[in-house]
Every structure is written in C-alpha cells, then in structure tokens.
Amino acid sequence: MKKQFQHTSSFVYRVLGTMQFFWASLVIFVCNAAWIAISGLYPMAHDEQFHLGIIRLYTERLSPFWSSMPAGEATYGAVTRDPSYLYHYFLSFPFRLLDNIVQSEVGQVIVLRFVSIAFVVSAIWIIRKVLQRAGFSKQLTHLSLFIFAITPLVSFFAAQVNYDTLLFLMLALALLYGQKVLERLRTSQKLDTKEVSILFIILAFGSLVKYAYLPIAIAVVGVIGWRVYRLNLKLPRLWQSLVSSFKKLSTQAAFALLALVVLFFGLAVERYGVNTIKYKTPTPECNQVLSVEACMAYSPWRRNYLTKQSYQQGRLETTYTSQNFPRYVTTIWLSKTTEQLFFSISGMSNSYKIARPYRAPRIASVTLMLVGFGLFLWHFKRIRSDYHLDFLLAVPLVYLGALLSQNYLDFLNIGYPYAIQGRYLIPILPIVYVLVGQSFASSLRKYPGIKASLAVLAILLFTTQGGGAATFISRSNTEWWWPNQKIIRMNQAAKRLIDPIIISR
C-alpha cells in the first residue's frame, strides 16, 4: 500500500511538471473564457460599454491628443486629459478594420472579447517564465497557474472588453524584464541598453494603459535603484556599460529603441507631466477638467459626487459607523475582494445582479489563504533565501498598498465603499498563489505523499465546484445571455450537467 502511494505521488509530480499539463491548463482556461465571451449579453459588468465607447471615439481620429473636449462625450469623463487611454487608442486601429468586416455589434464585441482573452493567456505564459526565473519548481508553478486559471473571476474577467486585461499583461512583462535587469546587475554589475530600454517602454506604456499601473512602475524602478545602492555601484560605471552595450546594437535596433524611448517618454510627459503642472495631480478628477454639470454625465463621477453629498447631509441609506482602518480592511475590503474571486455578476441590462460564490471553494480558498499566510510568515527566511523573492514581493505589495489606500481614502471621502473589485487583485494573484503553495510545500517537505494528495484535492475541488465558467453557467439565466436560441440551449444544457456535480450551494 505504501509503495503504491509513493508511485501515485511520483506520478502526480511528473504530470504537474510537464509542459503538457501547463498547455492543458491554458486550453481549459481559453475554453472557459471563450464560453463566457460567446454567451454573455453585452454590456457585461466590467464596464464594457464604457471601454467600447471610447474605442469607437478614437476610431474617428488618428491622433490620441485632443485640442478640446469632443462634443457630447462627457459620458466618458475628461477624455482629453485622461492618462488611461492607450488601450482604447491602440484597439481603435483593429476596430476600424473590424467595423468594415463585421457589421453586427454582437460580432464586434465577441472579437474584442477574444482579444482580451489573448492578453490574459499571454500574461499567464509570461508569468510562468517569471516564476521559473525566481526558482520555483515546475510542479508548483504549473499547479498555481492551473488554480489561477480556473478561479471563476479570472475566466469572467478575461472574457470582457476591459483595459485591466492589458494591464495584467503589462505587469507580467514588467516583472520579466525587471528580473532580467536585476539579474544582470547581480551577475555582472552592469546594465544592458536593450533590456533597460524595453523595460522603460513597458513601464511607460503600462502607465498609459491605466493609471493604476503607476505604483507598479514606481516599485520596479525603486527595487532596481535599491539594488544599485546595495551593490554600491557607481553611476559613471553603469552609464559606461549602457553606452558600451548600445554601441553593440545594430543601427536599426539602436534607432528603433531610441525612437520608442523618446516616443513613450513624450507620451508620458504629455499626460502625467502636463496634468501635474496644470492640475497639481497626475490624475485629475473630472470636475478639475470639465464643469460639474458636464461631469454629471460621467456615471462613476456622478455616483461619487451624489453619494458624498448624501453622506455630508446624513441622507445615506447605508451608513458605516466605524471608519477604523483595520476594521475596514477585514470586514469590508478583504470580505468583498475575496468573495468576488468566486462569484459572478450580470450586466447592466440586468441591474448587475450578483450570483454568490459556491460555499465549498469559497471556504476552502479562505482557509488555504489564512493557513498559507501563517506558514509563509513562519518559513519566510527559508523561502526568501531559496528564491529571488525581493522583487516578486515588492511589486505586488506596492500595487496592493496603492489599491487599498485609494479605496480607503475614497471611503473616507464619500462615506461609502465603492470601487472595491476583486478583479483588481487578478494581476498579482498568481504570485499570491505560488507563495501560498510554496509555504505549504516547505511545511510538508518531509511528506511528499501528503503534498501530492493536497495538489490533487485542490485540482478536483476548484475544477468541479464552480471553477472556470461553471459558476457563470450555473448561476446565470436567459437574462444574462445573448438572445440567441443556440446560445440559450447551449447554456441550459451545460447547466443541467454542472448543477448535479456541485455539492454545496
């Protein structure tokens, strides 16, 4: 019996370590996300109408710059000074072609949703490289990415027209090229022009996809600066290494890199620099650029504005007696964000009805996270010494800190916890999963059989109990789907197959 158990454990390890398992994870993810992309009635919950509207706005012009606010377009906020515009601007070019080929809005939306899926698949592929470079085993990397891929919100997130999917890809690229720069500093105490230039372009591009990328860019630059300081490297020597590596580039490569660096530096200055000079902030509020009356057409700003007025006048229907930060984090922020990782939600046409998570994966995920966090603290020194963790910890922590701070300050300002979204955790979730997994692996290093059993149990639990598109399919109804008989019958048939398998509702 013991030998059979050992053989089974070895088989599990071998399977998890293969590229076939990783490819299977990607295929399963694409199938789940594609199901939602094809089924979900437009506009879905993650601001699809807003993003598609701005993409269409940019199709009417070649330049991303605005001399004045486009007439009647305040519904999209202060687009003339919004730094989060490159996603919409770049997608406007394939959309121009798409608009001539695919005449129906349904077809256009589905194609753009598949672009989002491609962004997320690319990000997962790159994150695998990042985790491998950090020293994590193939088995743990593949298992963590599989669990990530079947987390219900991830498929739901990937299947929508939204700039957060591109932000995820840009974070993955920043981690990869940040690792390359840091590794070169560690091994040769030099900088390479190509690597530094590409990293700069990635950081500048990401910051102009969404302003929430700024903390990521700051963290990456900060960690590299700290490494230079710790290695006691002199700036003239680093500059000389940059010049030397630049001279080794071909004329075409040198020109292309220089042109892109200048271009993205200029784009960043045009938005963030000018905004800071003119409005005293890199990301001005709508009413700093437009009138209050015009901004009332922009629904997120209008919601916050009216809620703040109600809060100041004591007219809020739901009030929060305590604004204590620890209580806010534990009872509001963590509760909402972690629950949303396993829930589903309808679109605007169905009043954003929430489908609660299934209990089994929800309870299991919270338990694993809490125990894993404790084990991580317990084994922190060992894990940190065995893996290149400083960079992989610093970037997600700065991003998480900025997100939490913004949510909390907004809560204090308007009196209501708006804009708390589990999808904002998705870019850092693979790193969280692999750190939790490594914490369990370190604790059970003498018990390989138990580790293998837990891995199989996690795969079975999160796959069969609402994973991937299953929560969306099982919890949704005809009001969530395109009004197409094939789509309706397809989802109803899947629903009949899935519902008997789920043991806890």
pLDDT tens-place string over residues 82-126:
999 999 999 999 999 888 888 888 999 999 999 999 999 999 999
* pLDDT category of residue 258 using cuts at 50, 70 and 90: very high
pLDDT band of 348, cuts 50, 70, 90: confident
Helix (H) or strand (E) holding 345: strand 344-345
Residue 444, number of CB atoms within 10 A of its CB? 16
Peptide bond into 43 cis (omega under 30): yes
Cβ atoms of 429 and 171 within 8 Å: the answer is: no
Dist CA 49 CA 39 (whole Å)? 16
**In terms of C-beta density within 10 A (0-12 exposed, 13-18 middle, 19 or more buried), how is residue 314 classed?**
exposed
DSSP code of 499? Answer: T
| 53 membership: H or E segment, kind and range | helix 48-58
The amino acid at 483: P
Phi first, then psi: give them for residue 316, nearest 5 degrees.
-70, 135
Instruction: Give 275's DSSP letter.
Output: H
* DSSP H/E element including 344: strand 344-345
pLDDT band at 426 (very low <50, low <70, confident <90, very high): very high
- State the chain's mean pLDDT as an integer: 93
HSE of 460, CA atoms in CB hemisphere, 13 A: 8
Q: What is residue 504's predicted lDDT score, i.e. its pLDDT?
A: 73
Asked if 360 and 342 count as a contact pair (C-beta separation under 8 A), the reply is no
What span, in angstroms and rounded, lies between the C-alpha atoms of 475 and 344?
8
Q: How confident is the model at residue 1 (pLDDT cuts 50, 70, 90)?
A: low
pLDDT at res. 323: 80
Helices 138-150 and 19-39, axial angle in degrees (round to 10): 10
Percent of residues, the chain, with pLDDT higher than 90: 79
pLDDT at 5: 63
- Residues 199, 219: Cα–Cα separation, whole Å: 13
For the whole model, what pTM was predicted? Answer: 0.96
Instruction: Write down the pLDDT at residue 379.
Output: 86
Categorize the per-residue pLDDT at 478 as very low, low, confident or very high, splitting at 50, 70 and 90. very high
Three-class SS string for 176-211?
Answer: HHHHHHHHHHHHHCCCCHHHHHHHHHHHHHHHHHCH
Percent of the chain with pLDDT over 70: 98
pLDDT of residue 382: 82
Q: Does residue 52 contact residue 161 with C-beta atoms inside 8 Å?
A: yes
Give residue-wise pLDDT tens across range 144-164: 999 999 999 999 999 999 999
